Amino acid sequence: MKIFSAAQLSQADKITIEKQDITSEALMERAGEQVFNWLHTHLDGAPVTIRIFCGIGNNGGDGLVIGRLLIEHGYKVVVYVVNFSDKRSKNFLLNYNKIKNVTKDWPILMTSQADFPEISDEDMIVDAIFGIGLNRSPEGWVRKLIQYLNANQAFKLSVDIPSGLYANLPLKDKEAVLKADHTLTFQTAKLCFFLPETAPFVSNFNILEIGLDLDFIKNTEPIAQLISKPEAQAFYQPRNKFDHKGTFGHVLIVGGSYGKIGAAVLSTSAAFKIGAGMVTAFVPECGYSILQSTIPEAMVITDKEEKFISNIETDFKPSAIAIGMGLGKNKATVAALKKVLQLKDIPFVIDADALNIISENKSLLDFLPSNSILTPHPGELKRLIGTWKNDYDKLKKAKKFSEKHQVVLIIKGAYTITVYENKLYINTSGNPGMGTAGSGDALSGVIAGLLSQGYDPLLASVFGVYMHGSAGDIATGQLGFEAVMAGDIVENISEAYLELFSREEAHEQSQ
């Protein structure tokens, strides 16, 4: 699914009105109706007091539509106008007049802190104060109102976006953002929903289709792509009857050092599970019997050194190489890395200590084969691209790095983001149970296994990240967050493939 900027969404709004020959008021009605339907389905007539806080722009207009429809259906509703400005939008005013037709109670005008109402913990708050039209941080009593609502225990539902967040710009004032329990957003998710600094304000969210112009959606270059099950299904490359193990390639896993051989074991088994035809592990001497006894299917080549890798040589040409997992940073290993990077026409996944070695020896960046895949976690990323001022600065630097070095950068996190040139792919599978040792080693094996089967580097990255997350979701479903170990993620890669084509669809997005 495409993610658009606030400016693109306003443009989509205008184009939709023109092409569908409808009024902007009708589009607002559609949006409000969708929120009402969601609420009505979930509340099913419950006698809860719903307090709707409306700004004076179109987000506030949506709030008024929602209020009118709820009142019409017998809900107990109190509507407030957060009157931070006299510049009320046309559709706010139209709906302000319309709500008079369904209730004798006028919306309550709020102009200062003295107007803050008492709210019970059992009430529900609907936040329609600011939408994607926010262009500066909320100030004064409006900022205080947001804090007042945050301090309250009542369930908070945000319309389109939690008030105080920018759809796709850095946040300046963390104390002026509504912390939603749930967000119902129109047409597409917003970029801020997925970035570490702003995602916590969003919690769970649903996307409500409001029928924006399909040609616009199809033909407009988005600011990011969201990768969920439908996208992953489209990436999957089916097998042919006459394919054989040679077709699925031969992965070389280079990793492990004394005390960290497990990293190579996890990557090797992940490469097998995702479908590589053959996997050879290149490990220090001390890893030989561990690899041979834990994964009999794997071939093993050992370095002449007992405890670390000093020279990587094979008697075959691998179809993909993953390097760095548990590798260590011995001087000889640095030289070995430099040498192996010069192998031609082999796609690389570069992880963990290989990334750290590169960060400490920046000249190695020049040896990175183009289209290599780098898989840093936040600490490793910082060492590679330098520090950043905020999430958007981080993405800007990551794009620049990807363009300059012609590499795919996978920024691991709650929502892992794959960066390729100026494009962003945001993964939606995965869960906090996957924050466990070896999880990254499994990911490197998965991606190398896909590369060896002929997936191109970008596809192998985006699809691999999704499958790894999906395997983690299945593992967590069986074991609970705390008990998941990296081996459980690997174990469930088969289930992730089966789940990819199972019928029920996940509707709810959650972080």
Ligand X SMILES: NC(=O)C1=CN([C@@H]2O[C@H](COP(=O)(O)OP(=O)(O)OC[C@H]3O[C@@H](n4cnc5c(N)ncnc54)[C@H](OP(=O)(O)O)[C@@H]3O)[C@@H](O)[C@H]2O)[C@@H](O)CC1
Residue 243 assigned as binding residue = no
Task: Report the residue number whose CB is nearest to K ion.
Answer: 163
The smaller minimum CB distance to ligand X, of residues 201 and 282, is found at 201
Q: Binding residue per annotation — 185? A: no
Comparison of 58 and 359: residue with beta carbon closer to K ion: 58
CA-closest candidate to residue 229, choices 500, 503, 458: 500
Which of 8, 89, 269, 429 binds ligand X (CB under 6 A)? It is 89
- Residue 226 contact, options K ion, ligand X, none, Cβ 5-8 Å cut-off depending on partner type: none
345 marked ligand binding residue: no
Asked whether residue 30 is marked as a ligand-binding residue, the answer is no
Q: Where are the alpha helices (DSSP H) in 44-183?
A: 58-72, 90-98, 140-151
Interface with K ion includes 158 (CB under 5 A)?
Answer: yes
CA dist list (Å): 8 to 194, 225, 442: 18, 14, 38
Residues 6+ apart with CB under 8 A from 319: 249, 250, 251, 346, 347, 451, 452
Strands 224-227 and 204-208, by their bridges, are unpaired
Least separation, in Å, of the C-beta of 395 and K ion? 24
Under the criterion CB under 5 A, does residue 127 sit at the interface with K ion?
Answer: yes
Strands ordered across the beta sheet of 49-54: 108-110, 76-82, 49-54, 124-128, 155-159, 182-186, 204-208
Q: Which two tokens stand for residue 135?
A: 């262009």
| 459 assigned ligand-binding residue | no
Q: Choose among K ion, ligand X, none what residue 134 binds, the Cβ cut-off being 5 to 8 Å by kind.
A: ligand X
Identify the residue whose tokens are 């709906």: 95
Binder of ligand X out of 138, 326, 445, 464 (CB under 6 A): 138
CA dist., res. 380 & res. 329, Å (int): 14
Tell me: is residue 132 an annotated ligand-binding position: yes
Closest CA to 267 of 320, 308, 309: 320
The site partner of 163 among K ion, ligand X, none (C-beta below 5 to 8 Å per kind) is K ion
Instruction: Give the residue, chosen from 8, 58, 163, 428, that forms a contact with K ion under the rule CB under 5 A.
Output: 163
138 binds, among K ion, ligand X, none (CB under 5 to 8 A by kind): ligand X
Burial class (CB in 10 A: 0-12, 13-18, 19+), 373: buried
CA 74 – CA 45 distance, rounded (Å): 8
12 near ligand X (CB under 6 A): yes
Tell me 85's DSSP state.
-
27 scored as a contact of ligand X (CB under 6 A): yes
- Sequence-ordered strand ranges (E) for 430-509: none
Residue 133 within binding range of ligand X, rule CB under 6 A: yes
Nearer to K ion, 19 or 174 (CB): 174
Nearest to 53 by CA among 133, 134, 124, 122: 124
Q: In whole angstroms, how close is the CB of 386 to ligand X at the nearest point?
A: 31
Those residues with Cβ within 8 angstroms of residue 241's Cβ, 6 or more apart along the chain or in another chain:
none
Query: How is residue 57 written in tokens?
Result: 């722009």
Q: Is 59 annotated as a binding residue?
A: yes
**Is 133 annotated to bind ligand?**
yes
Between helix 391-405 and helix 378-385 the angle, nearest 10°, is 60
Q: Is 356 assigned a ligand-binding role in the annotation? A: no
Residues 53, 80, 84, 401: which binds ligand X (CB under 6 A)? 84
Distance CA 485, CA 270 (A): 13
Position 57 contacts ligand X (CB under 6 A): yes
Q: Is residue 85 close enough to count as binding ligand X by CB under 6 A?
A: yes
Which residues contact K ion (rule: CB under 5 A)? 127, 158-159, 163
Which residues make up each annotated binding site for AMP?
A: 412-416, 440
Which residues make up each annotated binding site for (6S)-NADPHX?
A: 58-62, 131-137, 160, 263, 326, 377, 441
Which residues contact ligand X (rule: CB under 6 A)? 9-10, 12-13, 27-28, 31, 55, 57-62, 84-85, 87, 89, 130-138, 159-160, 186, 210, 212
